[in-house]
């Protein structure tokens, strides 16, 4: 049996579509678990009104931080394979049929990771406000996997190394994964599957590092939605405070955050959460992978970002004096050289790209292969499901 788990908070208008793309599935026994994180939306009433015994509803009376919510949600699953979706995500047609084929062909792998359809809702992406649907090959390894096949140990280590080196070479979309129950039981820490401020980033990397059998599927099996109610929207549009309120993290109470304070530099909440999450990942995987977080590179990236912001008058540049006080002598020398080079590249724009490339001043080590399937025309995930089912979108 497959379990689909959807944690949700006050986004019933999106959740209804996610639910329907599960209810339309054939070819396997499944259950759907809706975990309501203290919503005021009538989610219980909607689920009850469906009259579908395959759907279970549980609710927290308190608004939990995202990681606690996801842990409560995934603990409710009973299936042999477990899929976690956001409430603005969706499954593609014949999802369980395809998953069954992969499970049988590869003799019950521990982890399955697929490419995705990315659905940018209208008004979400500043670079394309009409919205779009894209087929995204979201990892470096897809160039080596033209059909479903096992991830090689070297590829798994390279995936993890990129994340810990702040040069990501695959994306951490939780809806791209299906996890075996046995695997999740094996990677629990203090009884919990998810750790850190970013639970999806954590488990994605732990899965690649610790799974004994990961199948890479180059065809998109899920639809990753980015709506105006999502954390992704706040990230793309510089709405940091709103994003933090959605996650409801209490970072000051995190024990690893307190431990890392001497190594950290002033940064956005996103980068701070990323660094802390990677430390959780490194500790969870160290016995097998023997890799550590590259704090020297993290600090260089922060210095470069702060210098650029200060030179261009961006608000983030206001923090440069405080950041500078926290630098070592060697880092101050490096910062001086970076500032001089940045000034030169501003006078000679063609040098900017060469400069960034030479220093490798990017948090990404690869460019996902993306094929735009449609621009505009879609406002709901279920519309995309139907278009895929009828072949009008492919």
Question: Would residue 287 count as lying in a domain?
Answer: no
- Measured CA to CA in angstroms, residue 190 lies from 31, 66, 83, 344 at distances of 26, 18, 22, 52
| Residue-wise pLDDT tens digits, 70-116 | 999 999 999 999 999 999 999 999 999 999 999 999 999 999 999 99
In a domain, 206, yes or no: yes
Q: Which residue has the higher pLDDT, 303 or 217?
A: 217
The per-residue pLDDT for 219 is: 96
CATH number at residue 71: 3.90.550.10
The answer to whether residues 304 and 382 belong to one domain is: no
Q: Residue 346 domain-assigned?
A: yes
My answer on whether 331 and 376 are in the same domain is no
173 plus 95 within the same structural domain: yes
Verify that 316 and 176 share a domain, yes or no. no
pLDDT tens for each residue of 263-296: 999 888 999 999 999 999 999 999 999 999 999 9
**pLDDT of 214-238, one tens digit each?**
999 999 999 999 999 999 999 999 9
Quote the pLDDT of residue 82.
98
Summarised one tens digit per residue, pLDDT across range 178-220 is 999 999 999 999 999 999 999 999 999 999 999 999 999 999 9
Do 35 and 69 sit in the same domain of this protein? yes
Number of domains observed in the structure of the chain: 2
**CB-based contacts of 307, cutoff 8 Å, min separation 6:** 320, 335, 338, 339, 342
Beta 214-226 vs 369-375: how paired, if at all? unpaired
Shared-domain flag, residues 351 and 374: no
Residue 270 lies in a domain: no
In a shared domain, residues 131 and 225: yes
Dig out the tokens for 207 from the structure.
Answer: 């899965």
Q: Do 123 and 185 belong together in one domain?
A: yes
One domain for residues 229 and 315 = no
Q: List, in sequence order, the alpha helices (H) in the chain.
A: 12-23, 43-50, 66-74, 95-105, 153-164, 181-186, 199-210, 231-236, 240-247, 255-260, 269-289, 295-312, 320-325, 329-347, 350-359, 381-390
Average model confidence (pLDDT) for the chain? 93
Q: pLDDT at residue 328 above 90?
A: yes
Q: Are residues 384 and 337 in the same domain?
A: no
- At 56 the three-state DSSP class reads strand
Whether residue 50 is found in the same domain as residue 69:
yes
pLDDT one-digit tens code per residue, 28-71:
999 999 999 999 999 999 999 999 999 999 999 999 999 999 99
67 within a domain of the structure (yes/no): yes
Across the range 145-155, mean pLDDT stands at: 96
Domain that holds residue 333: 295-359
Rounded average pLDDT over 349-373: 75
One domain for residues 346 and 385:
no
Residue 260: inside a domain, yes or no? no
Q: Decide if 286 is inside a domain.
A: no
CA 235 to chain centre: 12
How far is it, in rounded angstroms, from Cα 299 to Cα 304? 9
Q: What is the pTM of this model?
A: 0.95
* Residue 358 confidence (pLDDT) above 60: no
């Amino acid at each position: 049996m497959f379990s689909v788990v959807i944690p949700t908070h006050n986004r019933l208008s999106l959740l209804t579509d996610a639910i329907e793309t599960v209810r339309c599935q054939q070819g396997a026994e499944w259950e759907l678990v809706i975990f309501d994180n203290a919503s005021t939306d009538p989610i219980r009433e909607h689920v009850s009104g469906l009259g579908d015994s395959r759907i279970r509803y549980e609710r927290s009376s308190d608004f939990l931080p995202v990681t606690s919510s996801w842990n409560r949600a995934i603990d409710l699953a009973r299936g042999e394979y477990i899929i976690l979706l956001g409430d603005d995500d969706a499954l593609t047609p014949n999802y369980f049929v395809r998953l069954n084929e992969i499970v049988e062909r590869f003799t019950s792998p521990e982890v399955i990771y697929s490419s995705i359809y990315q659905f940018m809702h209208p008004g979400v992406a500043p670079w394309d406000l009409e919205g779009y649907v894209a087929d995204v090959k979201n990892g470096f390894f897809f160039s080596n996997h033209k059909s479903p096949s096992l991830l090689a140990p070297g590829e798994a280590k390279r995936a993890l190394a990129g994340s810990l080196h702040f040069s990501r070479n695959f994306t951490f979309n939780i809806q791209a994964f299906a996890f075996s129950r046995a695997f999740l039981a094996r990677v629990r820490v203090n009884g919990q599957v998810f750790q850190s401020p970013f639970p999806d980033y954590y488990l994605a990397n732990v899965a690649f590092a610790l799974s004994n059998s990961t199948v890479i599927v180059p065809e998109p099996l899920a639809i990753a939605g980015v709506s105006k109610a999502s954390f992704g929207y706040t990230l793309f549009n510089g709405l940091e405070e709103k994003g933090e309120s959605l996650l409801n993290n209490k970072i000051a109470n995190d024990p690893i955050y307190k431990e890392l304070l001497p190594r950290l530099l002033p940064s956005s909440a996103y980068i701070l959460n990323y660094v802390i999450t990677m430390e959780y990942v490194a500790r969870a995987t160290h016995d097998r992978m023997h890799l550590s977080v590259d704090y020297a590179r993290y600090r260089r990236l922060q210095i470069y970002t702060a210098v650029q912001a200060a030179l261009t008058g961006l608000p983030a540049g206001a923090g440069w004096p405080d950041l500078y006080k926290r630098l070592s002598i060697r880092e101050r020398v490096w910062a001086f050289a970076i500032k001089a080079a940045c000034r030169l590249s501003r006078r000679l724009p063609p040098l900017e790209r060469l400069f960034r490339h030479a220093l490798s001043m990017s948090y990404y080590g690869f460019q996902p292969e993306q094929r735009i399937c449609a621009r505009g025309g879609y406002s709901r995930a279920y519309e995309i499901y139907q278009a895929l089912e009828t072949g009008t979108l492919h």
